[in-house]
Amino acid sequence: MAQVLAKTHIDLGDVIQNIVTEDDEPVDNLFSAKQQRLLARTLYSSWTPQPSEDQPRKRRKFLADVNVGVFFSLHERPLVPDFFLSLDVQPHKDWHQKAHRSYFVWEFGKVPEVVIEIVSNRKGGELAGKLKDYARMGVNYYVVHDPDKLLSKDLLRVYEIGFGKRYRLREDHQLPELGLRLKLWKGVFEDEEDTWLRWCDAAGKLIPTGEERARRAEAEVRKLRAKIEGRQRKSQKQR
């Protein structure tokens, strides 16, 4: 990248300053906004990436975020996925600087492993232009969640990159390189009951949100307390 910039006499700093990294326009509907939060919060609350082959004992960092521009090239408009997951990266310490406020591929050194798009209308090109763009970028897994079946009969499509940067559908909805799987789950999130897209581990076990973990812990405490109190009452009767 540096050699290309030198040959064309482009000042990277000037280019970055002229790039629009955010437009501040709210465009998501209520369901999509909650769904995005569910995907990101669950990973940060309850997921540990499987270790890398190079450093098997080191905990891997990851970046999971929503509605952040992914810039693949200086001269192309960014893609703004509803959700993305990128392993072994973290935001720059000075992330308020414009050069670090978005996901610039040349800064992070890699594209995200996973991109998820949530279909809210027929204009987004999730099964057309965006599918081709993410494949060209080399994103390993491209997921399309179509809750209202606006684009096809499928509520969920999971694509995996293959030979020649072409996507193929995974019927099992697994992301094997990450030890993750996606599933549609009917339940309550943030006080709203619906069918939500959820993360599972490789065995298909649901990865809990932070709130679900807290409720389970509270239930275990109540169960243990009731057990202790039952033993105490039994002991008192025997006396």
- Looking at the structure, tell me whether residues 163 and 226 fall in a common domain: no
- Cα(156)–Cα(150) distance, integer angstroms: 12
Which residues 6+ apart lie within 8 Å of 33 measured at CB? none
Q: Which residues pair with 198 in a beta bridge?
A: 183
- Looking at the structure, tell me whether residues 104 and 189 fall in a common domain: yes
- Looking at the structure, tell me whether residues 234 and 178 fall in a common domain: no
pLDDT by 10s per residue, the chain, length 239: 444 444 444 565 666 666 666 666 656 899 999 999 999 999 999 999 999 888 888 889 999 999 999 999 988 899 999 999 999 999 999 999 888 899 999 999 999 999 999 999 999 999 999 999 999 999 999 999 999 999 999 999 999 999 999 999 999 999 999 999 999 999 999 999 999 999 999 999 999 999 999 998 888 888 888 887 778 787 777 76
Task: Tell me which residue has tokens 């906004």.
Answer: 33
- Looking at the structure, tell me whether residues 229 and 128 fall in a common domain: no
Q: Which residues pair with 115 in a beta bridge?
A: 84, 142
DSSP state of 100: G
- Looking at the structure, tell me whether residues 155 and 231 fall in a common domain: no
Range of the domain at 146: 2-208
